[in-house]
Amino acid sequence: METLSENRCFGGTQGVYRHPSTTCRCDMTFGLFLPEEANDGPVPLLWYLSGLTCTHENAMIKAGTQQWAAEQGIAVVFPDTSPRGDDVADDPEYDLGQGAGFYVNATQDPWAPHFRMWDYVAEELPALLAERFAIDPDRQAITGHSMGGHGALTLAMNLPGRFRSVSAFAPIANPTGSDWGRKQLRAYLGEDETAWLRHDASVMMREAGFDGPVLIDQGTADQFIDLLRPDALAAAIAERRQPATMRMQKGYDHSYFFVSTFMEDHVTFHGEALWA
């Protein structure tokens, strides 16, 4: 593993690292914030999954996560959103290909050889973090924005017992029910729509739910709200009677101004679950 940078940050260290991924069959880059407490032993870990067109850098630089994570004494990992490289398939559209991994294991060409972001986030990167850094693998939580919110919710509900809490900022909440989602799921997973269902947070909420606290924030002025379909997720939460907090934030859009505004709430929410 190669250290690309390490900077002092709120008493801890913000690092950026690159490693050859056996899952994605290319080099992968991630950011990792370690609080000062990591000098004394393993600390809890919060995953932050980013959205379409993002890299590991977007939330690491724009969301202000480190300040609140330092106060809670928890680490935060910022994975990339897809495999990358000259040999990795891509698409001219922003919502497919590099930067748009959708946190699935692709089964269709030309995506199948590299686009295995589900296994990368669920298996390979957690093992690497536990091996190389002062991370407690038994205390994990997960959050994300947009496509990353979709990934956070579906991973949490498909991997019971893995995460103590889950939250999301403006998640793609019902991809099987909108044109923005069906396109990517069909491209990556094929025509069999039953294979899509475990990657739909609204479907998984009805079928499985989450055994832990849930927090979701959605801006009312989000320019993508009709594609995100938060109403479908709210209905699923109500139908299952899932304990959850879902907040509609008046006037906020889909940007990192929205994410950074409510990041303290989310990190504090996860800190309470991780240290319980």
For the sheet with 166-169, list strands across it. 2-9, 12-21, 26-34, 75-79, 43-49, 135-144, 166-169, 214-219, 245-249
pTM over 0.95: yes
* pLDDT of 95: 93
What is the pLDDT confidence band of residue 164, given thresholds at 50, 70 and 90?
very high
Give 193's contacts (C-beta < 8 A, 6+ positions apart). 176, 185
* pLDDT > 90? residue 179: no
* Cβ neighbourhood burial of 94 (10 Å; 0-12, 13-18, 19+): exposed
Q: What pLDDT, in 10s, does the model give residues 26-82?
A: 999 999 999 999 999 999 999 999 999 999 999 999 999 999 999 999 999 999 999
Q: Taking a C-beta distance cutoff of 8 angstroms, is the pair 8, 39 a contact?
A: no
Cβ proximity of 112 and 12 under 8 Å: no
Average pLDDT of 180-202?
96
Q: Which amino acid is present at 213?
A: P
- Give the pLDDT mean for 248-252: 98
Residue 180 pLDDT > 90: no
- β-pairing, 2-9 with 12-21? antiparallel
Q: Is 222 helix (H, G, I), strand (E, B) or coil?
A: coil
110: preceding bond cis by omega (within 30 degrees): yes
- What is the pLDDT, as a whole number, of residue 89? 97
Which is catalytic among the residues 50, 202, 222, 266? 222
List, for residues 220-233, the tens digit of each pLDDT value. Answer: 999 999 999 999 99
Query: Please, which pLDDT band fits residue 18 given cuts at 50, 70 and 90?
Result: very high
Would the pLDDT of 273 be above 90? Answer: yes
Strands 43-49 and 135-144: parallel
Q: At residue 261, what are phi and psi to the nearest 5 degrees?
A: -60, -40
* Number of neighbouring beta carbons within 10 Å of residue 220: 12
The tokens for 238 are: 């109500």
Name the band, by pLDDT with cuts 50, 70 and 90, for residue 260: very high
265 is catalytic: no
What structural domains does the chain harbor? 2-274 (3.40.50.1820)
CA 29 and chain centroid, separation:
15
Query: What pairing do the DSSP bridges indicate for beta strands 214-219 and 166-169?
Result: parallel
**Quick one: DSSP state of residue 91?**
-
Q: Mean pLDDT over all residues of the chain?
A: 97
> By percentage, how much of the chain surpasses pLDDT 90?
99
Which of 146, 165, 167, 202 does the annotation list as catalytic?
146
Q: Among this protein's residues, is 95 annotated catalytic?
A: no
| pLDDT (tens digit per residue) in 77-98 | 999 999 999 999 999 999 999 9
Q: What percent of the chain has pLDDT over 70?
A: 100
For the chain, how many helices (H) and strands (E)?
10, 9
Which of the residues 56, 150, 254, 266 is marked catalytic? Answer: 254
222 is a catalytic site residue: yes
Residue 1 has what pLDDT?
A: 94
- pLDDT value at residue 124: 98
User: Residues 131-163: pLDDT tens digits?
Assistant: 999 999 999 999 999 999 999 999 999 999 999
